[in-house]
Amino acid sequence: MNTWIVGNAPVGHHVLKPYHDAEKKIAKAGEKTFFMKARIMAGQADLKANAFGLKDFKWLTREELAKHLGPKYFSSVSKMLADR
């Protein structure tokens, strides 16, 4: 697939705060995911030689994303999607 990243700054982000256990120690580190706007110029997704062992993918609409993602994650992602 031939893609083009639009701009050099993220269009949005999602923050997962760290989880602390009963002793106030970090049980799970937090993470930040940054989203970049991209355009597909030509081609189709090809997972044959991917490094993550993925076997399938989906092109989803906003409504379909709401069914597949958790409410907090979808709330972050939906603000970056265009309304048409």
Positions of the chain with pLDDT lower than 50, given as ranges: none
Residue 84: per-residue pLDDT: 64
Task: Find the Cα–Cα–Cα–Cα dihedral 71, 16, 3, 52, rounded to 10°.
Answer: -100
**54, 66 in Cβ contact below 8 A?**
no
Token pair 């907090």: residue: 72
Give me the pLDDT at residue 41, please: 92
Tokens (6 digits) for 27: 């049980």
Residue 23's pLDDT is: 84
User: What pLDDT, on a 0 to 100 scale, did the predictor assign at position 35?
Assistant: 92
